[in-house]
């Protein structure tokens, strides 16, 4: 066992996690209210999908932090207020522009900052581009992988949509504002499905590699 | 009339904002979904369930929800019914690789909640289709079907009785984010519950 995912119990978590497309990729599914340290024994890579109730995640804060402290990998997606339970996370909301793509000449503000990162070998940058919910300020020593410039209306000075933090805790944390589980599980956005098509097999491979290296 | 109760899901979202800023009378109170076991639903007229709700948890509270309905309560439920938290509901059907004709909103019955709202304004938002609904549910045989998706036998919005109460089911994005400022669906739902329950 190595790759685990939290299940927030919504219909879109159900579709994305228990649906035929991805379910074989998860070694373990943990209903978020039932998360315990024991449930994570043998897990090396834990995915916290977007839109898991942050009231639950705050009550599980110590379990999640201890998991990363043990040197494991935590991937945390958007709209679950990670800034209130995960160390190092600073998040600022930005009103969502759902419509940027309707103008055929429009260019998304998203910028790829680390094209050589292995994440993008699994997930092409264009599959990470849709509307976004706020921006992250990575902590000192963390590395932004995708960012956006300052809000044209001056409400924030820009920030990351995805960053990797290997310094705040002994483990590795991938933190994003994107919400692919909601959009894939709602059957409503092809880019979100393409992101998960790349990300989940990559996460599974990473998890297996770490499980193997900790065994030998 | 008693106030409405909306179950929140822990983070700010446009859907909850639309519901609580509608200025309904009576008001709609927000409570965290996980506080449901400690809530006496007899204190409320309507239970609003967002598409972002933990349905697995609600399924564990199915008896409380059914008893509320049997005594005359109204449940307004949104999203895809993935766990059995509502009585008499069957499953939903995903439409893979849908085209516009598959997700065009069809009005089968006039209803005061949607009075004056053109189904085309539900099918499209700024020219984009799919926000209102993308799957169809099997409705109970005595349900009043308001809208279907693509074909008349694919229910999207419907109302059905449970005891003295009713379920208003919408199998898509939260109803109260539609209708615009002048036709706010949250206010209309409260008006319908208050006196005009035109259901068979």
Of A51, A55, A187, Cβ closest to residue B94: A187
Domain with A143, as residue range(s), is 3-215
Contacts of A85 in chain B (CB under 8 A): none
CA torsion angle for A79, A84, A90, A96 (degrees, to 10)? 20
- For residues B185 and B113, is the Cβ–Cβ distance under 8 A? yes
Contacts of A93 in chain B (CB under 8 A): 12
CA distance A102 to chain B (A): 9
Q: Which residue of A has its CA nearest to B60?
A: A9
ipTM of the complex: 0.94
| C-beta neighbour count of B136 within 10 angstroms | 23
What are A143-183's pLDDT values in tens digits? 999 999 998 888 889 999 999 999 999 999 999 999 999 99
| Total domain count, chain A | 1
What are A204-215's pLDDT values in tens digits? 999 999 776 655
CA distance B15 to chain A (A): 13
Q: Test B135 with A187 for CB contact under 8 angstroms.
A: yes
- For residues A28 and A1, is the Cβ–Cβ distance under 8 A? yes
Q: Test A55 with B134 for CB contact under 8 angstroms.
A: no
Q: What is the CATH number of the domain that holds A209?
A: 3.40.50.880
Of B34, B52, B128, Cβ closest to residue A10: B52
H-state helical runs in chain B: 14-20, 55-60, 62-70, 119-123, 185-195
Please provide the average confidence, as pLDDT, over all residues in chain A.
93
Q: Test B10 with A54 for CB contact under 8 angstroms.
A: yes
pLDDT higher than threshold 70 for residue A21: yes
Cβ partners under 8 Å of residue B54, min gap 6: A8, A9, A10, A33, A53, B9, B33, B34
Of A9, A33, A187, Cβ closest to residue B55: A9
Interface of A with B in 133-192 (CB under 8 A): 186-188
Q: Which CATH number fits domain B4-195: 3.40.50.880, 3.30.70.20, 3.40.1390.30, 3.10.105.10?
A: 3.40.50.880
Cα of B84 vs its chain's centroid, Å: 15
Name the stretches of chain B with pLDDT < 50.
198-200
Q: Test B53 with A56 for CB contact under 8 angstroms.
A: no
Of A11, A53, A186, Cβ closest to residue B10: A53
Q: What is the pLDDT of residue A61?
A: 98
Contacts of A50 in chain B (CB under 8 A): none
Q: What is the pLDDT of residue B199?
A: 40
Question: Distance of CA A46 to CAs A40, A115, A142, A194, Å?
Answer: 8, 24, 19, 20
Q: What is the pLDDT of residue B200?
A: 35
Interface of A with B in 8-27 (CB under 8 A): 8-12, 14-15
Q: What is the pLDDT of residue A1?
A: 63
Of B32, B79, B83, Cβ closest to residue A55: B32
How is chain B split into domains, by residue range?
4-195
What are A110-139's pLDDT values in tens digits? 999 999 999 999 999 999 998 888 999 999
Q: What is the pLDDT of residue A213?
A: 66
């Amino acid at each position: 066992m190595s790759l685990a995912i939290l299940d927030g119990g919504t219909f879109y978590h159900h579709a994305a996690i228990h649906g035929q497309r991805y379910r074989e990729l998860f070694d373990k599914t943990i209903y978020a209210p039932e998360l315990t340290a024991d449930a994570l024994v043998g897990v090396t890579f834990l995915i916290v999908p977007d839109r898991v109730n942050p009231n639950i995640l705050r009550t599980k804060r110590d379990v999640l932090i201890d998991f990363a402290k043990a040197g494991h990998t935590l991937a945390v997606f958007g709209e679950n207020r990670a800034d209130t339970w995960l160390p190092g996370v600073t998040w600022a909301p930005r009103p969502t522009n759902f419509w940027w793509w309707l103008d055929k000449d429009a260019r998304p503000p998203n910028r790829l900052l680390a094209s050589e990162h292995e994440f993008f070998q699994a997930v092409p940058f264009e599959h990470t581009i849709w509307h976004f919910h706020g921006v992250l300020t990575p902590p000192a020593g963390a590395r932004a992988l995708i960012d956006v410039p300052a809000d044209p209306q001056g409400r924030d000075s820009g920030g990351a949509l995805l960053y990797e933090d290997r310094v705040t805790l002994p483990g590795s944390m991938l933190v994003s504002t994107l919400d692919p589980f909601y959009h894939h599980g709602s059957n409503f956005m092809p880019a979100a499905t393409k992101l998960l098509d790349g990300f989940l097999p990559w996460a599974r491979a990473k998890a297996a590699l770490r499980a193997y290296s900790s065994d030998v | 009339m008693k106030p409405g109760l909306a179950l929140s899901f822990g983070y700010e979202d446009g859907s909850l904002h639309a519901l609580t800023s509608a200025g309904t009378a009576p008001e709609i109170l927000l409570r965290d979904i996980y506080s449901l076991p400690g809530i006496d639903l007899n204190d409320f007229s309507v239970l609003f369930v967002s598409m972002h709700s933990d349905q697995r948890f609600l399924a564990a509270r199915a008896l409380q929800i059914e008893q509320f309905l049997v005594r005359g309560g109204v449940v307004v439920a949104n999203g895809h019914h993935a766990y059995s938290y509502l009585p008499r509901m069957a499953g939903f059907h995903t439409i893979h690789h849908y085209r516009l004709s598959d997700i065009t909103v069809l009005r089968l019955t006039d209803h005061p909640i949607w009075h004056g709202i053109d189904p085309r304004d539900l099918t499209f938002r700024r020219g984009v289709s799919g926000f209102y609904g993308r799957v169809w549910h099997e409705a109970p045989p005595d349900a009043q079907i308001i809208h279907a998706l693509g074909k008349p036998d694919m229910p999207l919005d419907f109302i059905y009785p449970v005891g003295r109460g009713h379920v208003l089911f919408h199998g898509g994005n939260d109803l109260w984010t539609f209708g615009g400022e002048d036709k706010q669906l949250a206010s209309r739902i409260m008006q319908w519950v208050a006196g005009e329950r035109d259901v068979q």
